[in-house]
Amino acid sequence: MGKTVLITGAASGFGRGVAFGLARRGHQVIAGCQIWPQVWELRNAARADGIEMQVIKLDVLNEIDRARALELDIDVLHNNAGIMESGPMAEIPMAVFRSVFETNVFAALELAQGFARKMVRRGSGRIVWTSSVAGLVKVPFDGAYAASKHAVEGICSALHEELKPYGVEVVTVNPGAYRTGFNDTGMESMDQWWGLGERVVEHWPVRELDRQHDPAEMIAAMIDVIEAEDPPYRTVRPESAGEMVRKEQALVWDRKA
């Protein structure tokens, strides 16, 4: 039987791929987009592909949009919307840092709380949260994003244990580096403010993003997690990223100042 799935951040990247993939597989998809032009574009793209999909405006930072979304009756919330802002922790403007947490942590948690309450009353439901490999390891010059995803990991770990007795499942999906454009623009983002004041540390080394993976792999994994009868709590892709995480976490115990 098909599921009713709400996906935030569905206008592009993983969210878009998961929305189209689930709709093709017969699920009732509600795709949330941040701004109205994205809503229009996604509706037209779905129509052109002959896909039935409900597309709504859902800026996770917008209280009205969240309230409208919480009127929906869904089986699965895919908390996928997120932003990336780069820069050294000693220099990144606090307003920029806060913006990352507002989107990736606070707004996402408000949605999760709202749907969790409905799921608890019903006795069933699943919250799938797009975390990141960055939530499991250190990421120099991308500390704001990594910190937000470490927060997501803490939230999901607690939610998993708190909601399990009520029949509500909480799981994470943890992408590594994939060619969605997210990493590229995230790396570029610090250039918006870097030259607007005196800096005491060096600009991070320019890295060529030429080793990113095909996002189809991660999209397929996300769809599997949403559809699975008994999904794993954490799904890391690619496999090489999972191996890296285990090694790096072990090394932290012996790290020196």
3/27 Cα distance (integer angstroms): 5
Q: Which of 55, 29, 30 lies closest to 43 in space, CA to CA?
A: 55
Q: In this predicted structure, which of 18-27, 104-113, 196-205 has the lowest mean pLDDT? A: 196-205
pLDDT level of residue 211 (50, 70, 90 thresholds): confident
Residue 163, domain CATH: 3.40.50.720
Q: What is the pTM of this model?
A: 0.95
Whether the CB-CB separation of 55 and 36 falls below 8 Å is answered with no
Q: How confident is the model at residue 55, as a pLDDT?
A: 98
Q: How confident is the model at residue 35 (pLDDT cuts 50, 70, 90)?
A: very high
Q: Is 197 part of any domain?
A: yes
Q: Is 140 helix (H, G, I), strand (E, B) or coil?
A: coil
Q: Is residue 103 part of a domain?
A: yes
In this predicted structure, the answer to whether residue 5 has a pLDDT above a threshold of 90 is yes
163 within some domain: yes
Query: In terms of residue numbers, what domain contains 87?
Result: 4-252
Is there a catalytic annotation at residue 166?
A: no
Report whether the peptide linkage leading into residue 238 is cis, meaning its omega lies within 30 degrees of zero. Answer: yes
Which tens digits make up the pLDDT trace of 103-116? 999 999 999 999 99
Q: Rounded to whole angstroms, what are the CA distances from 192 to 61, 189, 217?
A: 22, 6, 32
Which element (helix H / strand E) includes 218?
Answer: helix 215-227
The domain tally of the chain equals: 1
Exposed e or buried b for every residue in 119-147, given b needs 16+ CB within 10 A?
Answer: bbeeeebbbbbbbbbbbbbebebbbbbbb
SS3 159: helix
Q: 145, 166, 178, 233: which is the annotated catalytic residue? A: 145
Model pLDDT for residues 131-165, shown as the tens digit of each residue: 999 999 999 999 999 999 999 999 999 999 999 99
**What's the mean per-residue pLDDT of the chain?**
96
> Is 257 inside any structural domain?
no
Tell me the per-residue pLDDT of 45-95, one tens digit each, with 9 for 90 and over.
999 999 999 999 999 999 999 999 999 999 999 999 999 999 999 999 999
The predicted structure's pLDDT at residue 40: 98
